[in-house]
């Protein structure tokens, strides 16, 4: 149950966190970040509910010595395991896709402000700078000092190295490493849960047969 609540908390923080919400609201339909953002939230909530249900069923099966509840608990653990393994594989094979899509969103907003100084985009860029505590980026298209003076929070100096692309990448790397570690722990607990529920099912089954052995009904 604690693991399920941890995953639910992490999913909620990731979905409704200020930095993630800002990027999701700004991203275009052609960018994959919004899809990843929503999919991760719903996957995390479903996974946490499955883990909590599996824990409750296993506890009830142990108290009542019910083979049916034990089998249902095993099914929930197996279902969570089948969802966790592809998620971990996706994270391993697409290790930079989330970071790249998030930085693409920032690039798009920044270049929009640099080209036409749209007030709407300038407001979005200012919000991103304030959320990530960074200031601008190193652009190959020339001087960007004007953009940074209008959108950077007070006290942030671009020349000191507060490059937003680097800040976004570092932030996401730490966050995704934590998510990957939690996925690894969850997979380990799923394997342990399946082994434990299997052992419990066989124990209840054989104990039930031994309890009935030697008893006869006279007619």
Residue 45: what pLDDT? 94
Residue 164: what pLDDT? 87
pLDDT in tens, 102-138: 999 998 888 888 887 667 888 888 899 888 888 887 6
Question: Could you tell me which of 42, 130, 143, 52 has the C-alpha nearest to residue 87?
Answer: 42
pLDDT in tens, 188-206: 999 998 998 888 888 877 7
Residue 46: what pLDDT? 94
Residue 210: what pLDDT? 44
* 76/54 Cα distance (integer angstroms): 5
* 142/156 Cα distance (integer angstroms): 20
Per-residue pLDDT in tens (0 to 9) along the chain, 219 residues: 888 898 999 999 988 989 999 999 888 877 888 898 999 999 999 999 999 999 899 888 888 878 888 889 899 999 999 999 998 888 888 878 888 899 999 988 888 888 876 678 888 888 998 888 888 876 555 555 667 777 787 665 544 446 888 889 899 989 988 888 888 899 999 999 899 888 888 887 777 544 544 454 545
């Amino acid at each position: 149950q604690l693991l399920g609540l941890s995953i639910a908390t992490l999913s909620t923080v990731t979905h409704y966190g200020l930095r993630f919400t800002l990027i999701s609201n700004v991203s275009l339909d052609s960018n994959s970040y919004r899809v990843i953002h929503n999919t991760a939230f719903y996957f995390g909530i479903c996974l946490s509910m499955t883990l909590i249900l599996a824990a409750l069923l296993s506890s009830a099966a142990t108290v009542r010595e019910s083979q049916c509840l034990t089998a249902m608990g095993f099914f929930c653990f197996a279902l969570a395991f089948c969802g966790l393994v592809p998620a971990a594989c996706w994270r391993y094979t697409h290790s930079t896709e989330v970071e790249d899509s998030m930085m693409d969103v920032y690039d798009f907003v920044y270049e929009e402000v640099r080209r036409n100084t749209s007030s709407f985009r300038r407001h979005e860029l200012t919000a991103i700078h304030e959320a990530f505590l960074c200031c601008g980026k190193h652009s190959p298209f020339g001087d960007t000092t004007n953009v940074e003076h209008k959108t950077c929070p007070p006290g942030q100096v671009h020349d000191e190295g507060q490059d937003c692309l680097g800040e976004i990448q570092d932030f996401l790397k730490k966050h995704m490493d934590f998510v990957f570690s939690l996925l690894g722990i969850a997979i380990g607990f799923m394997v342990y849960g399946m082994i434990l529920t299997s052992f419990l099912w066989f124990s209840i089954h054989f104990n039930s047969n031994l309890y009935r052995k030697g008893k006869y009904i006279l007619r």
